[in-house]
Amino acid sequence: MGKLFLAAVGLCAGEASSKKLPHLVFVLVDDMGHNDFYSSSDLAAAWPNVARLAREECVKVESYYTQPICSPTRGAFMSGRMPVRLGLQHGVIAGHQDYGLPLDEATLAQKLSAAGYSTIGVGKWHLGMYNNASLPMHRGFDHWFGYMNGAEDYFTHEVGGYLDLHDDEQVDRTRNGTYSAQLFGNQVVRRIQEHKTLNPEKPLFLYFPIQNVHAPVESPTEYSGSSACKGIPNADRKTFCGMAHAADEAIGNMTAALEAAFPGEDVVMVIGGDNGGMPGMAGNQCPTTDSADCLRGHKAELWEGGIRNNALLCSKTMLPAGRKGKTYSKGLVHVMDWHATFRSLAGAKDKADKPLDGMSVWDAIAQDKESPRTEFLVNIDPCSGHGTCGGQVAAYHYQGCLGGPSHQARCGHWKLIDGVVQTDSWYALPTSTSAAVPSTEAEASYGVPTIGGGVAFPPSTANTTYLFNISADPGEHTNLATLYPSVVVALKAKVEALSKEVYPPCNIDGGSCSADDPASAAALKANNAWVPWVAEKVARHPSAIVV
């Protein structure tokens, strides 16, 4: 690890033994659309702290990708592996379902803990809570404050009428009425200060998957009524602006606490989203429908609007001065690459039987070199849609040439979407009198958020193969499948090869964990809170599921 680490931070060999490993921070902004961050066409003023960081300490990642929905993105980051290897490729983990991130997967928190890190988590887990073994405190975190489901009320911290707020392994019943961004931001600061006092010799891994800006659309007026949001004409978008402003305040307080606790020490931080925004919940990835930045679709879809997001890689001490404030545009970066990057910076090891799909991108971004990533599987979902199974749908990104060097017309940033069951459109910013209204062709697939944090879509009969050149057509307007059939064949072959390595999801229609586990209702009622309900000795593990 030493030589790699020295190359990354530019130290000489004599300094390595005495220098503390870098503190590692990962901030995940929930349901942040492509046009919802600090460079947004209408929300930029809501992100002053992040904007300052972006100018002074960070590199913006241009071609950054996640999974289309919450649990798969979190699983990819925590494991460094594709969701199809985790059984997380279909939808999200709903509250009463008895499955989660497989227990034989080593999480990043576990790897960093083994490498000598203190590990702190604050915010949204959403990787399983049916048994104790699935909870953050049993997946490598020394401390966790937050909630286990996918969505909850920002003030009552309830989901479906039951409290979901946990301080380590205890239900916290004292926070009713406290807005979650303020609550979670304060907890982050508390834990940073506590770490400095109790474990000053150890590096810190801080995971901050903040609730904002996920539905429901809720914000105190101190944020939505601020000068940063006063010019937003649509009421929901104005509240959404307040949610973004509250997230920015929490991030600003966090970075100030890090600076105070670790002056002059190395801190590496990533700030990014987990999937596209929901237009019906005031999220946006399309400033105007004629903009080059207008992405098609939204959260839970394989279109770019569902998976292309925002990310900043930041470090005051470890990034070269000439890279700060710049944009990295030399290739693809995927959320699972942050797992590999953090692991590499920390010298953490992997279990021999669980190879990573993520790749370390530190050198590429810090030195402005070509990304080691030229391709990735977006997803293979055997049961597209929700409810009645709509058949398999898959998507794949590939940057390069297919067909050999003599076929230069076959070079590009290719994206295959195969078997799509929901066509969608482009959603411009809402006006003062209307919400974001899609075109007529998209209305049939417009999503409705569910209590468990998922999104329900009615299935359609469409079954089409799409091929796009994303570098020339980021908005996915022109289907090139008939023009370049050999590219389609090559990308389908890649999908087919990976389909042989799929870990079957149990939550598809008719699957063994697709329905609510009736035992959960009794446990919730008895505790008046969300708690694990399956005893470890009888816990059903996804590896035993037959689909």
* Residues annotated as catalytic (active site), given as ranges: 70, 126
- Which residue type occupies 237? R
Question: What distances in angstroms separate CA 321 from CA 318, 342, 361, 366, 367, one per listed residue?
Answer: 9, 21, 18, 10, 11
> Residues 261, 226, 432, CA angle at the centre, nearest 5°?
135
Question: What distances in angstroms separate CA 42 from CA 86, 181, 283, 300, 410, one per listed residue?
Answer: 37, 21, 12, 24, 37
Closest-CA residue to 106 (of 79, 136, 137): 79
Instruction: Annotate 1-34 with DSSP letters as a single string.
Output: -HHHHHHHHT--HHHHTTSPPPEEEEEEETT--T
By the 8 A CB rule, do 483 and 62 touch? no
Neighbours of 200 (CB within 10 A): 10
Instruction: Annotate 474-520 with DSSP letters as a single string.
Output: TT-----TTT-HHHHHHHHHHHHHHHTT----SSSTT-TTSSPPHHH
- Roughly how many angstroms between the first and final C-alpha of the chain, as a whole number? 41
Q: Hey, what are 54's tokens?
A: 């972006």
Measured between alpha carbons, how far is 33 from 295 in angstroms, rounded to an integer?
10
Residue 283, classed as helix, strand or coil, is coil
Q: Which residues contact 467 (CB under 8 A, 6 or more apart)?
A: 414, 415, 416, 479, 480, 481, 483, 484, 487, 488, 491
Query: What does DSSP say about strands 64-65 and 308-309: parallel, antiparallel, or unpaired?
Result: antiparallel
Pure H helices in 277-334: 304-307
Q: Hey, what are 33's tokens?
A: 């659309």
Neighbours of 15 (CB within 10 A): 11
Instruction: Annotate 39-84 with DSSP letters as a single string.
Output: T-TTTGGG-HHHHHHHHHTEEEESSEE--SSHHHHHHHHHHSS-GG
Preceding amide of 213 cis, omega within 30: yes
